[in-house]
Structure 1
Amino acid sequence: MTTTAPPPRDLRDFYEDPSVPVASGAPRSLRQARMLAAALGPVSGRPCTVLDIGCGDGTAAATAAPLLAGHRLIGVDWSQDALRRARTRLPDTVRGELTGGGLPFGAGSADAVLFSEVVEHLVDPDAALDEIRRVLRPGGHLMLSTPNLAAWYNRGLLLAGVQPVFSEVSLRAIHGRPGSEVVGHLRLYTARALREFVAASGFTVVELKGAPFHGVPGALRPLDRLACARPSLASILLLHARKT
């Protein structure tokens, strides 16, 4: 199936387009929030500062907020359109970038970072993790989620010669894979690759879990939920790491 859209001038133009999806499914957001809430523990004394970097329209952070009650949750994005929408859901939002010290926070000023469905969109993910590591305090938590290149259905699609779900060859149209939305993915990770990448960036990987994908057809969703028991087969990878 092929869908067409007006060609973006560049990546920034693409992500400022209001029609480009900037939110992910609630099941992933809830699972990730539970992982972070367990890591932070109950509020005792000073509230923790949690940055949702690449917050999009704020849906994921708003979903996580009840589980992080008492902590300060700040939405961060460089897309002005996304921030405009996020301000309807989050009390604190700021504009920031992930390269060249572009996050408007001091070194070691954050206790945790939510980094949900962002790394697959980046030209330079190494610089992004360097910047996240800069703003995290020693021992601070990184909660990263990203689609799994080796999801159970992608393995079958590749065997059949079909482009995997989540992968894209164009910012203008869908070519050779299931789905109807162009979402701008530039990089995809397997569970093993994600672990190695995060560890090489100065973090200690604490845990890796799987989460379902909201775009899986209804009849296949029970199987998708079962696959979460083995992160290497799950649709979405949820990684918890700490700054070393």
Structure 2
Amino acid sequence: MTTAQTSQASQTSRTAPARPPELRDFYEDPAVPVASGTPRSLRQARMLAEALTAERAHTILDIGCGDGTAAAVAAPLLPGHRLVGVDWSQDALRRARTRLPYTVRGELGDGGLPFGTESVDAVLFSEVIEHLVDPDAALDEIRRVLRPGGHLMLSTPNLAAWYNRGLLLAGVQPVFSEVSLRAIHGRPGREVVGHLRLYTARALREFVAAAGFTVVRLEGAPFHGVPRPMRPLDRLACRRPSLASILLLHARKT
């Protein structure tokens, strides 16, 4: 969701070290964006709807739900299933409760999600992983709560997006990357959203597979922040996920 997930960044350490106060304050700031673009939320929901069987209701967690916008967009495509918004930020959850019937506070550390082992059918993990201090612990915790064969629908910005390749050649900081929580330095854009880690398509595949998942599908999605004259090119790049602005990955628990 860029960034419906921003609230999760500092919760993923297995040993739960003290979290930097300035980082916690950053993610609790109501001014920090906590909603992703609608097009990518719809694409992700369609991918999940195609993957789920219709024989029974499924429990789906939207981890890093932010203000609930992305889950609300996905809900009509997932009728009959129980969609639960999960976030660490109390401010985000207050807003999410206006859009979602079920919300719960949870963290992405060891046992930090308030759900039993192998109790969940699917996880939406939209625009969260790029904000995490410890993404390994996050995927371990997601894998714990997923049933065998459960679905992980993950989205994240692409470090190797088509325009970032050109920017790097020109010596410009890539879009989506950030060197400070206080201001933008050396790259296009004006919003600080707290990105700590970025992935290419290859790195994301390898990382998710190493965490005990089987990658089923990888697609691209456009980025709403691309200037209007360049949006046709951005949509065209989605045909090759390695060049797309946003990576949409579907994996299953091995």
Give the TM-score of the pair, scaled to structure 1: 0.95
What is the percent sequence identity of the aligned residues? 88
1:100 deviates by 1.8
Q: Please point out which of 240, 248, 252 is paired with 1:230.
A: 240
In the alignment, what sits opposite 1:77? 87
What is the DSSP-based 3-state SS (H/G/I as helix, E as strand, rest coil) of the residue aligned with 1:10? helix
Q: Please point out which of 208, 214, 233 is paired with 2:224.
A: 214
Matches of 2:52 and 2:207, distance apart in 1 = 24
1:107 is aligned with what amino acid?
T
Q: Please point out which of 242, 246, 249 is paired with 1:239.
A: 249
How many residues matched? 235
In the alignment, what sits opposite 2:27? 15
Matches of 2:205 and 2:172, distance apart in 1 = 26
Superposed CA RMSD: 0.8
In the alignment, what sits opposite 2:144? 134
In the alignment, what sits opposite 2:59? 49
Q: Please point out which of 134, 158, 173 is paired with 1:124.
A: 134
1:237 deviates by 0.1
In the alignment, what sits opposite 1:103? 113
Q: Residue by residue, what CA displacement relative to the aligned partner does 1:159-183 show, whole Å, maximum 9, x if unpaired?
A: 0000000000000000000000000
1:11 deviates by 1.5
In the alignment, what sits opposite 1:178? 188
Matches of 2:38 and 2:63, distance apart in 1 = 17
Matches of 1:209 and 1:231, distance apart in 2 = 5
Matches of 2:110 and 2:211, distance apart in 1 = 16
1:26 is aligned with what amino acid?
T
In the alignment, what sits opposite 1:32? 44
What is the DSSP-based 3-state SS (H/G/I as helix, E as strand, rest coil) of the residue aligned with 1:142? strand
Q: Please point out which of 70, 89, 92 is paired with 1:60.
A: 70
How do 1:188-207 residues align onto structure 2 when only pairs under 5 Å count?
188-207=198-217
Matches of 2:34 and 2:188, distance apart in 1 = 19
2:139 is aligned with what amino acid?
L
Matches of 2:103 and 2:130, distance apart in 1 = 22
Matches of 2:120 and 2:136, distance apart in 1 = 19
Q: Residue by residue, what CA displacement relative to the aligned partner does 1:9-42 show, whole Å, maximum 9, x if unpaired?
A: 4221110000000011000000000000000033
How do 1:158-169 residues align onto structure 2 when only pairs under 5 Å count?
158-169=168-179
Matches of 1:12 and 1:74, distance apart in 2 = 23
In the alignment, what sits opposite 1:113? 123
Matches of 2:21 and 2:83, distance apart in 1 = 33
Matches of 1:9 and 1:153, distance apart in 2 = 34
Give the TM-score of the pair, scaled to structure 2: 0.92
Task: Mark the runs of 5 or more structure 2 residues left unpaired by the alignment.
Answer: 1-19
1:197 deviates by 0.1
What is the DSSP-based 3-state SS (H/G/I as helix, E as strand, rest coil) of the residue aligned with 2:190? coil
What is the DSSP-based 3-state SS (H/G/I as helix, E as strand, rest coil) of the residue aligned with 2:73? helix
Matches of 2:189 and 2:156, distance apart in 1 = 17
Matches of 1:194 and 1:12, distance apart in 2 = 26
Matches of 1:163 and 1:177, distance apart in 2 = 5
